[in-house]
Amino acid sequence: MTEYGKTLDAIDTPIPGLTVWQLPVHGDNRGWFKENWQRAKMTAAGMPDFGPVQHNIAFNESLGTTRGIHAEPWDKFVSVAAGRAFGAWVDLRAGKTFGTVFTVELDPSRAVFVPRGVGNAYQTLEPNTVYSYLVNDHYSPDATYTSVHPGDESIAIDWPIPLDQAVLSAKDRAQPRLAEVEPIPPRKTLVVGADGQLGRALRDAYADAVHVEFAGRADLDLTADELGSARDWRKYDTVINAAAYTGVDAAETAEGRAAAWAANVTGVAALVRVAAAHGITVVHISSDYVFDGSSTAPYREDDPPAPLGVYGQTKAAGDQVVATLARHYILRTSWVIGDGRNFVRTMLSLAERGVNPSVVDDQVGRLTFTSELARAIRHLIETRAPYGTYNVTGSGPAGSWAEIARRTFSLAGHEPSRVTGVSTAEYFGGAEGPVAPRPANSVLDLTKIESTGFVPVAADEMLTNYVEVETRESRHLTSP
């Protein structure tokens, strides 16, 4: 008997991601009505916005018709349109919950969201039961899907109608036991731009993750015409875009302008099209250069962009494109220090060579080490933080480039007064080529990223550790 008058609600189960949904059903002397799938209400109540693309209906004429246990590579939302069914699910994903079983009776007032990799099965409890399911990928008759024998003794499903009396297909009776099943691995994560400073940090951050792949420019070019067919994108859950054109001053030239727009906008738009077609989450790196730096307060994620130069304009445009995706993380950062040529390493070299540098003192911000940026990316993905834009830098007091230079000299055992502060105008006064305008204030508000449970390490602590390592390695290389 269908229950009327329930409120829309989700109930967790022992299988992670598998949720039972209580559906409001309205009935009178004519019958009943329900909203079986209502995207706005259900996503607001906590259902993943899984983007169904196919709706399947199975009519089951006989009592005891049993189908499954099948785990296709897509998410499902299963329900009953008429009759009743006993539903059974087995987690076939690699991990500690592999083999976990959950069962519940389904009627028109109860549905279940089934995440990819969880085996789905049911047995009809009434004749003429109509079983409905939405899926977010298209069925392929040529593909091989993971299945388990419904009578496997190790999972011990207590079918209401014994399987020797039930209606099963020959195919389902021939499925393997759980012990013979290869656990389904998670969908892959792809790091694009994996040979750059952030890419190398991401290689370290994901060194223990077998599901993460890395692609340098030679492996995957976002501006290539064949991007849509460059990979089997159905196998990917997330793409981390660490590729970008970062020549701030070079972007002010005719050649650089074209290259910056190609990499930071055209290539990003191509990636977004692929992601939209395959339900992929995109993680994208943004910059403080999307702001003009005129604010007297730290910049929040929702402050309107106002880029001063070409590089900032391309980054702002790329952000807008990525933001059209339902599933995206934009990490806005500043003053990045990573493995390779960077400001701190330059200051250390000058200090060791006896050079007394003039360094800009009218631009204020915080350093961001690529290891911290990589840690923040993994945190957002693995905690399934709300999609959107997040500021990510080191924490603690902000300072000018000159102050950071003096601190670097001091940490390396040199006299900090050797660093002379100059204005941006003075510093670039003798430049031969074009110079991009810089934001005077690059300080980013970290409240939003902290609200997800991520605690940014103090920029000065990261600088101290970095200088210690660099100094130790430098002395080791120069020692006899």
Active site residues: 70, 133
Contact by Cβ (8 Å): 451, 389: no
Alpha-helical (H) ranges within 327-458 are 343-352, 370-383, 401-411, 424-427, 447-450
Instruction: Enumerate residues 6+ apart whose C-beta is below 8 A from 451.
Output: none
Contact by Cβ (8 Å): 103, 89: yes
Q: Which amino acid is at 65?
A: T
**Tokens 């924490």, located at residue:** 395
Q: Which two tokens stand for residue 242?
A: 């660490």
Of 447, 439, 450, the closest CA to residue 305 belongs to: 439
Q: Alpha carbon of 387 to those of 6, 53, 159, 384: distances in Å?
A: 30, 22, 40, 8
Whether residue 69 has a cis bond before it, omega within 30° of 0: yes
Q: What is the dihedral of CA 216, 221, 222, 227, to 10 degrees?
A: -120
Distance, in Å, from the CA atom of 348 to the CA atom of 464, rounded to the nearest integer, reads 12
> Following DSSP, what letter does each residue of 1-43 receive, concatenated?
-PPPSPPPEEEE-SSTT-EEEE--EEEETTEEEE-S--HHHHH
- Buried (b) or exposed (e) across 104-138, using 16+ Cβ within 10 A? eebbbbbbbbbbbbbbbbbbbbeeebbbbbbbbbe
Helix-then-strand count for the chain, H and E? 12, 25
> Following DSSP, what letter does each residue of 211-280 receive, concatenated?
TEEEE-TTT--TTSTTGGGSS-GGGEEEEEE------TTGGGSHHHHHHHHIIIIIHHHHHHHHHHHHT-
